[in-house]
């Protein structure tokens, strides 16, 4: 049985660090996380912030054995469906992360700019998806 639910950022530290060694979460009052559970086991999450009318994806991760099964897209769509009054979603992605770039392009994001030296000396694309404000 699958379930997507909002969780406390502190409840994800171990899982987040496993997939993102530099994973940080804390006392940001604008940060939220939806976790994806399959048979009671967390297999993915999306960590995002909302500031005024804009949302920013901080992290999105799916356990390796569950990748390419539509779970990331399901998390992304669920997160977007819960946004009210938000006009756009943005994120940064390493220019060398071809799989993630294809995923975001497929899901309606466009490359807007390059962030020089964003990831420890490696560049990142700023990608944005415009939303209909509800």
Give how many domains the chain has, as a whole number.
1
* pLDDT > 90 in the chain, percent: 66
Bigger pLDDT: 110 vs 24: 110
pLDDT value of residue 18: 64
Please work out, in degrees rounded to the nearest 5, the angle formed at the alpha carbon of residue 89 by the alpha carbons of 92 and 132: 155
Residue 24 has pLDDT above 90, yes or no: no
Q: Phi and psi of 31, rounded to 5°?
A: -95, 140
CA proximity to 74, closest of 112, 37, 31: 37
pLDDT band at 134; cut points 50, 70, 90: low
Residue 55 maps to which CATH number?
3.40.630.30
- Express each pLDDT in 39-50 by its tens digit: 988 898 999 999
**Burial letters for 62-73: b for 16+ Cβ neighbours within 10 Å, e otherwise?**
bbeeeeeeebbe
Q: Token pair 């209909």 is at which residue?
A: 132
Distance CA 24, CA 46 (A): 13
How many CB atoms sit inside 10 A of residue 54's CB? 15
Summarize pLDDT for 51-103 with one digit per residue, the tens.
999 999 998 989 889 999 999 999 999 999 999 899 999 999 999 999 999 99
The rounded Cα 19 to chain-centroid distance in angstroms is: 13
Structural domain boundaries, residue 70: 2-130
pTM of the model: 0.86
């Amino acid at each position: 049985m699958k379930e997507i639910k909002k969780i406390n950022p502190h409840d994800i530290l171990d899982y987040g660090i496993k997939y993102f060694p530099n994973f940080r979460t804390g006392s940001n009052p604008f940060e939220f996380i939806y976790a994806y559970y399959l048979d009671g086991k967390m297999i993915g999450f999306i960590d995002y912030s909302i500031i005024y009318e804009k949302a920013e994806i901080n992290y999105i991760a799916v356990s390796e054995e569950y990748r390419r099964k539509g779970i990331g897209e399901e998390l992304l769509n669920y997160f977007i469906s819960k946004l009210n009054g938000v006009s756009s979603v943005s994120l940064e992605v390493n220019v060398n992360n071809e799989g993630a770039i294809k995923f975001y392009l497929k899901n309606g994001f466009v490359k807007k700019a390059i962030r020089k030296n964003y990831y420890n000396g490696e560049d990142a694309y700023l990608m944005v998806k415009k939303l209909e404000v509800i």
